[in-house]
């Protein structure tokens, strides 16, 4: 009996190890990894990924043990083999204490790292750059609060044309179909960027999987989120609105262009100058040009 239990436990252990290997990042490129969430390019996104794997592994281990014992018991103690029900476990205080205590210990073991990660996600202290993000039907407005720059980001023209009914354009010929915008959000790497999110009409949600950020943009409320992209992870990252917000919910992607601090500073300066010039009132007319431009009085 004991050797049989030991052998079964060993077999279940081997099965559990197999499942863990299947879920390991080493297989991320094999296609199976596509089913999993990305590890991302920020310390927080990696922490969320690690937590997700930890909890997943605990769940798999519990499932393997519980279903293993159950299936083994059903098979081993079947009626056709002359098994007689053991009624001594009914209302056994010892068993009830054990099967209450074990789940409590497991839940506490899972709650501690989860709570720590949540606190880190919500910690918006010491941010170096603040951007207001306003979701609207259907696009995003980005407002660099200290940079004097703001612009609207919408689905790029190519995707927009291809998505129209009977456009005759094959979506597979469009680069990043439905995941590209006209004006991406530009941010510096290695900088703690704070987002202040709100909605202009209905609830939207700003989701950037690679940053581990997903936050609702709600009219009348300001939600906070932050990210700090690794200095060596420059590049373009894509996300989507993830709160069903109406007809064109699927057509308001998010694109973030992560640049080096120097490139970002240069971009912000240039953009601010452009916007200042565009907003400036027309140059006042000199008396000479005014005289020429003035209409000749009638009569």
Closer residue to Cu ion in complex, CB, 187/245: 245
Sites for Cu ion among residues 241-280 (CB under 5 A)? 241, 245, 252
> Minimal distance in Å, beta carbon 138 to Cu ion?
6
Closer residue to Cu ion in complex, CB, 56/251: 251
Closer residue to Cu ion in complex, CB, 178/229: 178
> Which of 259, 254, 257 lies closest to 180, judged by CA?
254
Return the exposure string of 236-270: e unless at least 16 CB atoms fall within 10 Å of the residue's CB, then b: ebbbbbbbebeeebebbbbbbbbbeeeebeebbee
> What is the helix, strand, coil percentage profile of the chain, to 5?
50, 20, 30
> Minimal distance in Å, beta carbon 197 to Cu ion?
12
> Which of 127, 152, 147 lies closest to 265, judged by CA?
147
Q: Interface with Cu ion by CB under 5 A: which range of 119-127, 198-206, 253-261, 268-276?
A: 198-206
Closer residue to Cu ion in complex, CB, 154/204: 204
Measured CA to CA, the distance from residue 21 to residue 17 in angstroms comes to 6
Measured CA to CA, the distance from residue 265 to residue 195 in angstroms comes to 18
Binding of Cu ion by 186 (CB under 5 A): no
Sorted by sequence, the CB contacts under 8 Å of residue 228 that are 6+ apart come out as 42, 43, 44, 190, 191, 192, 193
Sites for Cu ion among residues 216-245 (CB under 5 A)? 241, 245
Closer residue to Cu ion in complex, CB, 52/249: 249
Please name the residue that has the structure tokens 């919408």: 154
Residue 54: DSSP 8-state = H
Q: Convert residues 119-158 into a mask of x (bound to Cu ion by CB under 5 A) and - (unbound).
A: ----------------------------------------
> Minimal distance in Å, beta carbon 245 to Cu ion?
3
Q: Interface with Cu ion by CB under 5 A: which range of 20-28, 191-199, 201-209, 232-240?
A: 201-209
Closer residue to Cu ion in complex, CB, 196/245: 245
Measured CA to CA, the distance from residue 113 to residue 223 in angstroms comes to 24
Among 47, 194, 204, 271, binds Cu ion (CB under 5 A): 204
Question: In which order are the strands placed within the sheet that holds 149-153?
Answer: 149-153, 139-144, 129-136, 193-199, 223-227
> Minimal distance in Å, beta carbon 249 to Cu ion?
5
Closer residue to Cu ion in complex, CB, 133/189: 133
> Minimal distance in Å, beta carbon 257 to Cu ion?
20
Size of the residue set binding Cu ion (CB under 5 A): 4
Residue 87 CA neighbour count, 13 Å, CB half: 1
Sorted by sequence, the CB contacts under 8 Å of residue 61 that are 6+ apart come out as 16
> Minimal distance in Å, beta carbon 163 to Cu ion?
15
> Minimal distance in Å, beta carbon 172 to Cu ion?
25
Interface residue list for Cu ion (CB under 5 A): 204, 241, 245, 252
């Amino acid at each position: 009996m004991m050797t049989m239990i030991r052998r079964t436990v060993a077999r279940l252990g081997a099965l559990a190890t197999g499942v863990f290997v299947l879920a390991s990042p080493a297989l991320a490129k094999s296609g199976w990894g596509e089913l999993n969430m990305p590890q991302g390019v920020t310390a927080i996104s990696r922490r969320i990924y690690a937590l997700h794997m930890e909890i997943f592994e605990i769940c798999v281990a519990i499932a393997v043990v519980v279903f293993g014992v159950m299936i083994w018991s059903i098979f081993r103690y079947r009626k056709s083999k002359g098994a007689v029900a053991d009624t001594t476990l009914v209302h056994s205080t010892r068993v009830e204490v054990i099967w209450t205590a074990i789940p409590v210990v497991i839940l506490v073991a899972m709650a501690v790292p989860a709570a720590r990660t949540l606190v880190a996600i919500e910690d918006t202290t010491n941010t170096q750059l603040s951007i207001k993000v306003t979701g609207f039907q259907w696009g995003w407005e980005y407002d660099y609060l200290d940079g004097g720059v703001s612009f609207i980001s919408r689905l790029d023209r190519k995707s927009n044309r291809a998505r129209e009914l009977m456009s005759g354009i094959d979506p597979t010929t469009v680069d990043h179909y439905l995941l590209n915008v006209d004006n991406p959000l530009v941010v510096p790497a290695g900088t703690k960027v704070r987002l202040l999110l709100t909605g202009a009409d209905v609830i939207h949600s700003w989701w950037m999987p690679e940053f581990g950020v997903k936050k609702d943009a709600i009219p009348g409320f300001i939600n906070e989120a932050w990210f700090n992209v690794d200095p060596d992870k420059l590049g373009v990252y894509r996300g989507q609105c993830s709160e069903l917000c109406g007809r064109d919910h699927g057509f308001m992607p998010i694109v973030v262009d992560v640049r080096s601090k120097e490139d970002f500073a240069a971009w912000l300066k240039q953009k601010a100058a452009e916007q200042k010039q565009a907003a400036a009132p027309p140059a006042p007319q000199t008396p000479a040009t005014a005289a020429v431009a003035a209409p000749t009085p009638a009569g």
